Chains A and B, each alone.
Chain A
Amino acid sequence: MEFSWQLVLKWGPSILKSLTITVEMFTLSAFLALVVGTVVPALMRLGIRPLNALLRIYISIFRNSPLLVFLFFLFYGLPFFGIYIAPFWCGVLGITLNEGAFLAEIIRGAIQGIPRGDWEAADSLGLGRFQVLRFVVVPQALRNAIPAITGQLSIVMKDTSLMSLITLAELTYIGNFIYSRTFNITGLFIVAMIYVALFAVLNLAARVLETRMRIRR
């Protein structure tokens, strides 16, 4: 049961390979989720009634049901209709839609926090409805929301661990696999430490971004 360096050496290459899959999936789905999370609240600001109702249903469904259920739905449910999606893309699609809903709520709150005066000033400069959002409101909102967005992105990182349950050989899968082969916990510990290290990097990046984007008044 104790820590074993031999295991680390033996399984090192597979752990590294699974790390690249985790990082790949994180980067891709974090980016797409951010796009969804920015576009959805911006669309809601346009004030088109049926569209708003639709977007609110989308947010409510994904905020109130587990990602794992949706993943199984994609992975096991869709083939029932003859639609096959590879595990990796099930994951990207699932995380994008799920975390996109959470990010949309965060960014919507940040947009609401932009003072009315900014909207009015942009209007009076002759900017169109879309331009006001694109050049004035959304950039400020994104900056204010950096800590909350970082927290959510750390959850995106954790979400990638669910892919081990739909047969994708990412970090958690390998950790679990090593245990089932050797009954030694070392693999899972290494994997846990890698996740913490990734989280530390994410935190650091967010802090750098925050100081860089700070406005000097």
Chain B
Amino acid sequence: MYEIPVGSLLRQLGLGTLETLKLLPVCIGLTLALGTLIGALHTLRLPLLNQIITAYVFVMRGVPPLIVLLIVFFVANIADAFLAAIIGLSLYHTAYISEVVRGGIMAMPRGQFEAAHSLGLSTFQTLRKVIFPQIWYQTLPSIAGQYILLAKDTSLVSVVGMQDVMRIGKQLMQVTANPFIVYFFIGVFYYLICTSLQQVSIRVEDGMRKRYARGVTR
């Protein structure tokens, strides 16, 4: 047991945080794409697909992300921790994003769909050109909120063997025997990540409001 200078401690924890930060954009991109797709498919009420999506969302809303990560890791037998973490976290958060997107689409007045159809737009075109441009603005706060939860869930990925900030924290704790300072700094790192995500979402929302709000009355 010996003292580690604070600078060195911060550098090591920073390296671990970097691993976490690599995970975040990949998961955000993946969940946004899949969540939008699944949320949109859910509103179409296709016979078999609808039940499958409902069941998937229900299960993911019920099961802890820790379990999802463990099952992905053990069942798929993925050796690459980074990949297992991405699949586990994305599988879990896609369900929530799809619910947000579905809610956004359902909240659109029926007249919009009817008007688009009567103009000869296909269902896909209606969603892409009429509905989505309007719902992004309304669903952004919920989506941003979900991504803050995603950022916090990255603290679980050490269970699939990633060398993230939590794992490094545990190792440092055993060396310095001062867990207090280690977890304090980890908390600060996460706080900074989450509040910056929040700031980005506020900026984007403001930008969108300036562009869209004039046209959209709701």
A interface list, Cβ under 8 A from B: 1, 60-61, 63-70, 72-73, 76-81, 154, 157-162, 164-165, 172, 175-176, 179, 185, 188-189, 191-192, 195-200
5 residue pairs, one from A and one from B, having the closest CB atoms: A199-B62, A161-B64, A64-B194, A76-B179, A158-B64
Known contacts: A68-B155, A154-B61. The answer to whether A179 contacts B179 by CB under 8 A is no
Are the CB atoms of A69 and B58 closer together than 8 Å? no
Are the CB atoms of B66 and A69 closer together than 8 Å? no
Are the CB atoms of A196 and B63 closer together than 8 Å? yes
B interface list, Cβ under 8 A from A: 58-59, 61-67, 70-71, 74-75, 148, 152-156, 159, 166, 169, 173, 177-180, 182-184, 186-187, 190-191, 194-195, 198
Q: How far is the CA of A157 from the CA of B66 in the complex (A)?
A: 12
Min CB distance, A32 to chain B, in Å?
20
Please classify the interface of chain B as helix (H, G, I), strand (E, B), loop, or mixed, using the class held by over half of its residues.
helix
Are the CB atoms of B194 and A65 closer together than 8 Å? yes
Min CB distance, B98 to chain A, in Å?
15
Contacts of B71 in A (CB 8 A): 185, 188-189, 192
Given contacts A1-B75, A160-B64, A189-B71, 20 further A-B pairs with CB under 8 A are: A64-B148, A65-B191, A65-B194, A68-B166, A69-B183, A69-B187, A70-B187, A72-B179, A73-B183, A73-B187, A78-B180, A79-B179, A158-B64, A161-B66, A165-B66, A188-B74, A192-B71, A195-B62, A199-B63, A200-B58
Known contacts: A66-B152, A68-B155, A188-B71. The answer to whether A76 contacts B183 by CB under 8 A is yes
A-B contact pairs, 30 of them (CB 8 A): A1-B75, A64-B190, A64-B194, A66-B153, A68-B155, A69-B155, A69-B183, A69-B190, A73-B184, A76-B179, A77-B182, A77-B184, A158-B64, A161-B64, A162-B66, A162-B156, A175-B67, A175-B70, A188-B70, A188-B74, A189-B71, A192-B59, A192-B71, A195-B64, A195-B67, A196-B58, A196-B62, A199-B61, A199-B63, A200-B62
